[in-house]
Structure 1
Amino acid sequence: MNKIPFSAAVFFAALLLGARGSAASDPGEHPFLAPLLRDHMVIQRGVPAPFWGWTDPGRKVTLRLGAHVAEATADAKGAWRASFEALPAGGPYTVIVSGPQTQILQDVLVGDVWICSGQSNMEMGVGNVDNAEAEIAAANDPQIRLCTVDRKLSLAPRDAMAGQWAVCTPEAIQSGGYWNGFSAAGYFFARDLRRDVHVPIGLIDAAWSGTPAQAWTSEAALRRDVPDYRPALDELDAARDDQRRGLSRDIHQRFEEWCAKNDPGTAGHWEAEATDASAWGAIAEPGVWEGSGVAELSAFDGVLWLRREFDLPAGAEKKDAVLRFKADDDDTAWVNGAPVGSTFGFAPDRAYTVPASALREGRNVVTVRVLDTAGPGGLTASTQGFGVTVGDGREISLAGPWRYRIGAPLAGTPPLPQDIESNANYPSVLFNGIVHPMLPLPIKGVLWYQGESNVDQAYQYRALLPAMIRDWRRRWGEGDFPFLIVQLAGYGAPLDGPADSKWAELREAQAMTATHGKNIGLMTAADIGGDLHPKNKQEVGRRLALLARSQVYGETIEASGPQFRAMNVVNGAARLTFTHSAGLAAKDNGPLTGFTIAGADRKFVRASARIEGTSVIVSSPEISHPAAVRYAWADNPVCSLVNGAGLPALPFRTDDWPGLTAGAR
């Protein structure tokens, strides 16, 4: 998931996404009635109910819903919009839209509309959850309506987007959505909410696996509030201009142009057979360079050149050979200075034909230019091996020592060119393609489960997520509508001791957004999982519904676990106080776990913890003067503090010491 973030490795992702998205902004997609408005839809109650579409300029359009009538006249561009007065919950209704043509919408309800957005954990369908078969069979509530939007990315804001609405039935919940059914988190939220809030609920599934928050945020908001993205947005603007002028440049060509300007190896033709590599460093391949023991490569992202000699026996040079390996992420390869192949993407096996004209008996030189954009980098073995297969089938291994030389570190160089037109991770393209077409539709609020793709820039997310929320609210024009966030679930194997954690830093950014923002709710899933996609989405939906019942629908219920309020140090121990602290306990009456403590040296150790009333006392014999306490501060924390409602405490830290992602962009 995190191997192909906002990087050149999305060249490979583009191949996977090509059938799912389009860069066209669909300027001609102007139907008489916006295709998001369909049979079985839910209209938001309590606010004016707009319908909109396009026709000939000056034409009149009339809408009827029972005794309610609304009229509009198309403007100079043919756009029309008519609104019914605010309607109470109810239905079903028939809506008749008439003008140059007539469309009739059947079985329309009035209730509350919630958008379910984010990445894969929101996209994850009911078919993937625990007890899926029984959950699908029981998913039969005609007062819940499910809308799966037509997902497209776009360089410029789109006007129209299709949405397929359906009554919640086992068949609809299983066939909707994009990943084995309709959004499980969304459905379980609506199911639980309907037990207490007896109005129709419309869910719009608008999630896309693997996507970062910047893709869901408008260009204007990013330029204004998160300036780190301005260079990428300049590229977006240039791509949009090229699209308007009907121009297209191959991404491989653009990458080579980038290398020629920024990589001294490309400019200096280090692939040439005559290149003197005697002063280059030594590294063993196959393997990733982060684990090679070479200090300057321990955290290197960028262009690295690798070179090795091999010998061909007499006669082998008379037939074509095949060079086999894999690269992480992208590569271009030469043999004796002749280009033999290039691949974008860390997944495919490389099997490059080496023409006999490029070979010679005895000494030969293979050179590989590797681009690593994030995570591990290097050459690895393919399913067919790591070496050269000569014409008679003999294998010549290339395992062992190679020479390396750094070409272009990504830090300090201009951004890599991006295949923007099919890259769903690119800034603003999902706002343009999915969010913008929904803006005329009144909503109750948003459920947001996203962040995994931003963990490497968790500190930046402190600005990015609030910017996105402000952006959506400003553009919807409905004020500070509810925005309910799922804090990331536990991921990976639990660790034996304290450690820094990017996932914890992302959770902190989510918590900061909720604490400092208006009408933003937060429920934690940090105690759920271990799996990147935890299957207990029933609990996620239940906790979201609790938040909504408390913060949106005004019920007097406990909807949050304990949240850290203050720390006082007394007699070598830290006393922690919390909000939402009635009935503090350890989950299932087990041990109280998840706390670590540090002194002024900032070295954390495991801590003992005990509950005293509505406080927790944290200490360690190793720390005589506590300076900081952290709770559930790990990718996959082992933590047990709950309140009387059984809701888990939110992860926190009392310090503000710089984390792993401080300064990451």
Structure 2
Amino acid sequence: MLQRLTPLVLSILLVPGATALAEVRMPAIFGSQMVLQRGMPVPVWGWADAGEEVTVTFQDQKKTTKADADGKWSVKLDSLNPGLPIPLVVKGKNQLTFDDVLVGDVWVCSGQSNMEWSINAALDPDLESLASKNNKLRLFHLVKATSTTPKTDCVGKWAVAGPGAVNNFSAVAYYFGRQLQQTTDIPIGLINTSWGGTRAEAWTSAEGMASRGEFKPIIDSWAAQEADYPKRKAAYEEAMTKWKKESAEATAAGKKPAPQPNAPVDPSATPHRQTNLYNAMIAPIVPYGIKGAIWYQGESNASRAEQYRTLMATLIKSWRDAWKQGDFPFYQVQLANFMAKKDAPGDSAWAELREAQVIASEAAAPGGVACIIDIGAAKDIHPKDKQNVGKRLARLALVDLYGLGGQVSRSGPTYKSMDIKDGKIVLHFDNLGEGGLRGLISYYNEPLSGFAIAGDDKNFVWGDAKIEGDTVVVSSKNVPNPTAVRYNWADNPSGNLFNKVYLPAYPFRTDNWDGVTKGKLAP
């Protein structure tokens, strides 16, 4: 009898929220060595028997509640302050003890391959690993998964930063967190939930995707593939039956069998389908208390850059709506320079995507975009210098959230406005630096490059550009009546405008003319 019941018991245990054995259970995001968010009420939740009393104890707080009819329970700890690592204890009919728990700032780190990219695959992995021991920096790596409906749990485990723990962790996330921790001495927790090659729509909630009509072509595209899948699967199974017969005959005759047919991919299970990664890799960690999020993605959406303006803003809103803890800061990494350089100015989907990232960030403030237009590689979509990516993200947060404005430069120069005077365009900038390191420079004082100028004919040519105080003046003898300037508007531009901290100026354009991705709405 017991042997017959065992599979049933095991199956019940695998159901999220199952309470057949009357044990208090909690999602994987709670564990020893975790970081709990400081300065706000902290949600703690899990499952137990319906009506079971559950008590959560941490620091000097004790919160008691009862599981509801579905076996779900939750409490909120009052606002916490950083202190020494101590246990968090959860007690019902059984007791869970999570040791070595810190209070600090927790950041969700997400995106595609450049966020997933590990320290082992980036610059100086040996030195960085040896120097990584830091008890105030904690790492949680979410195991990849997909789902068409929101999940309540995930697979992952907290670890203290150090050799071994950091090696396969996100390099961008680690260097971001390390800079924050070393600069502020506040414990930092990093939740890495990323997947290479994925699109923004996969990380957006179903409610978010349904909120705007311009996303309907994405949803319809996947619906068509899902409707066609049974037919393709049946054709594959028929082909396999035939192949097995013919393969056996070929082998018996001493001949080489034909290649095996390729099985069709179930479109409902792919990480590229809308909402699938939100459901499996974001929903399970909601509403764990967080400080904010960092995001490195966009390469897979570059062909639909104009749509990305609203898609990315919608993604951010969908996360904030889910967490219900206000408008937490959301920082993005702007796409690096990549692909072959071009001799003449022209259109660029990657330039439009970079612009879309800025537009989305401004529409979904607070947040910002870290510019890395100077550290990419023409033949490698995965730049190996992740240290500077993390540092530039950290600059945004340190100035915005940690009170270091005036001491730390937030970013490189950003376009502010323009004037047209005597056949020349005068460009004005923000983010020129701080104190004695304030001002515009060209990289190693070389002649300025990367500026294109055009008139009403929209025909861009390279312009002559000079720094004059806090402005750049652009002109061309071939454009006597200029109306627009573009800077670093290319897949892999060569512009060299920086501030005196050697942070690069952001790519920009002064016009709003239609781009090459206008009207492209479906993958």
TM range (shorter): 0.7 to 0.9
Residue 96 (structure 1) shift = 1.3
Change (3 A) 1:58 1:238: farther
Structure 1 residue corresponding to 2:160, chosen from 159, 167, 186:
167
Query: For residues 73-472 of structure 1, what are the structure 2 equivalents within 5 Å?
Result: 73-174=66-167, 181-229=168-216, 232=219, 249=230, 251-253=232-234, 343=262, 419-472=266-319
Match of 2:441 in 1: 585
* Letter matched to residue 188 of structure 1: Y
Please tell me whether residue 597 in structure 1 is matched to residue 453 in structure 2: yes
The structure with the largest strand share of the pair is: 1
Instruction: Specify the alignment match of 2:344 in structure 1.
Output: 497
**Are residues 1:612 and 2:468 paired?**
yes
- Note the C-alpha offset of 1:517: 2.9
What secondary structure does 1:568 align onto? strand
CA distance 1:63–1:574, change in 2 (3 Å): same
Is 1:37–2:18 an aligned residue pair?
A: no
Q: Is the 8 A contact 2:218 2:274 kept in 1?
A: no
Where structure 2 has 5 or more consecutive residues not aligned to the other structure, the ranges are 1-12, 19-24, 238-252, 433-437
Cα 1:254–1:590, aligned 2, differ >3 Å: closer, same or farther?
farther
Following TM superposition, by how much is the alpha carbon of 1:514 offset from its aligned partner in structure 2, in angstroms? Answer: 2.1
Are residue 548 (structure 1) and residue 404 (structure 2) matched? Answer: no
CA contact (8 A) 2:330 2:367 kept: yes
Counterpart of 1:568 (choices 419, 431, 445) is 419
Say which SS state the counterpart of residue 435 (structure 1) adopts. Answer: helix
Alpha carbons 2:352, 2:515 under 8 Å: kept: yes
Aligned counterparts of 2:230 and 2:447: Cα–Cα separation in 1: 61
Whole-Å Cα distance in 1 between the matches of residues 478 and 14 of structure 2?
Answer: 66
Q: Which AA in structure 1 matches 2:295? A: W
CA 1:536/1:237 → structure 2, altered by over 3 Å: closer, same or farther? same
Structure-2 change in CA distance of 1:251 and 1:59 (3 Å): farther
Cα distance, 1:238–1:490 mapped onto 2, change above 3 Å: closer
Distance of 2:362 and 2:52 partners within structure 1: 49
Q: Distance in 1 between matches of 2:327 and 2:516?
A: 32
2:465/2:474 contact within 8 Å kept: yes
* C-alpha separation in 1, matches of 2:304 and 2:268: 24
How far 1:422 sits from its partner (Å)?
A: 2.7
Residue 344 of structure 1 and its aligned partner are, at CA, apart by: 7.2
The SS at the match of 1:163 is: coil
- Counterpart check, 1:654 vs 2:510: yes
Contact 2:313 2:363 in 1 (8 A): no
Deviation at 1:235, TM superposition (A): 5.6
**Counterpart amino acid of 1:628?**
A
Q: Is the 8 A contact 2:498 2:504 kept in 1?
A: yes
Partner of 1:62: 55
CA distance in 2, matches of 1:235, 1:608: 48
Partner of 1:415: none
Gapped runs of 5+ residues in structure 1? 1-25, 175-180, 243-247, 257-318, 325-339, 346-417
Q: 1:226: how far off? A: 4.9
* Alpha-carbon distance between aligned partners in 2 of 1:234 and 1:39, rounded to the nearest angstrom: 43
Give the corresponding residue for 1:23: none
Distance 1:227 1:255 in 2: 34
**Counterpart amino acid of 2:355?**
E
Change (3 A) 1:226 1:140: farther
SS of the residue 1:172 aligns to: coil
- 1:534-587 CA-partner distances (Å, limit 9, x unpaired): 011110011111111001112123211111111211111111111113411101
**CA displacement at 1:232 relative to structure 2:** 2.2
CA separation of 1:524 and 1:68: change in aligned 2, threshold 3 A: same
TM-score by length of 2: 0.87
**Aligned residue in 1 for 2:435:** none
Aligned amino acid, residue 219 of structure 2: A
CA–CA distance in structure 2, aligned partners of residues 617 and 27 of structure 1: 65
Partner Cα distance (2:143, 2:93) in 1: 26
Equivalent position amino acid for 1:478 in 2: Q
- TM-score under structure 1 normalisation? 0.69
Tell me: CA distance 1:233–1:46, structure 2 relative to 1, closer, same or farther (3 Å): farther
Q: Which one of 317, 328, 343 corresponds to residue 481 of structure 1? A: 328
- Bigger Cα displacement from structure 2, 528-537 vs 223-232: 223-232
Q: Deviations over 1:582-627 (max 9, x none)?
A: 4111012222111111122111111110000011001112111112
Of the structure 1 ranges 618-627 and 114-123, higher mean CA displacement relative to structure 2 is found in 618-627
The match for 1:514 is 361
Amino acid at match of 2:337: G
Shift of 1:84: 1.7
Cα distance in structure 2, aligned partners of 1:213 and 1:555? 31
Closer, same or farther: CA 226–124 of 1 in aligned 2, 3 Å: farther
Verify the 8 A CA contact 1:38 1:163 in the aligned structure 2.
no
1:360-384: CA deviations, max 9, x gaps? xxxxxxxxxxxxxxxxxxxxxxxxx
Q: 1:251 to 1:77 in 2, by over 3 A?
A: farther
Q: 1:233 to 1:40 in 2, by over 3 A?
A: farther
Give the deviation of 1:151 after TM superposition.
2.1
1:39 Cα deviation from its structure 2 partner:
0.6
Q: Distance in 2 between matches of 1:121 and 1:101?
A: 42
* Rg larger in structure: 1
**In structure 2, which of residues 355, 370, 385 is the aligned counterpart of residue 523 of structure 1?**
370
Checking the alignment, whether the CA contact within 8 Å between 1:567 and 1:574 is kept in structure 2 is: yes
Distance 1:212 1:61 in 2: 40
Query: Structure 1 residues 576 and 255, CA, compared in 2 at 3 Å: closer, same or farther?
Result: farther
Task: Name the one with the larger helix percent.
Answer: 2
CA distance in 1, matches of 2:254, 2:371: 58
Distance 2:220 2:205 in 1: 10
Structure 2: how far apart are the matches of 1:448 and 1:235?
24
Cα 1:322–1:621, aligned 2, differ >3 Å: closer, same or farther? farther
Which has the higher mean CA deviation after the structures are superposed, 137-146 or 585-594? 585-594
Compared CA separation, residues 44 and 601, structure 1 to 2 (3 A) = same
The Cα of 1:421 is off from its aligned counterpart by 3.4
Between the aligned partners of 2:231 and 2:132, the Cα distance in structure 1 is 47
TM-fit CA distance, 1:321: 9.7
**1:447 to 1:153, Cα distance in 2 relative to 1, 3 A:** same
Which residue is 1:4 aligned to? Answer: none
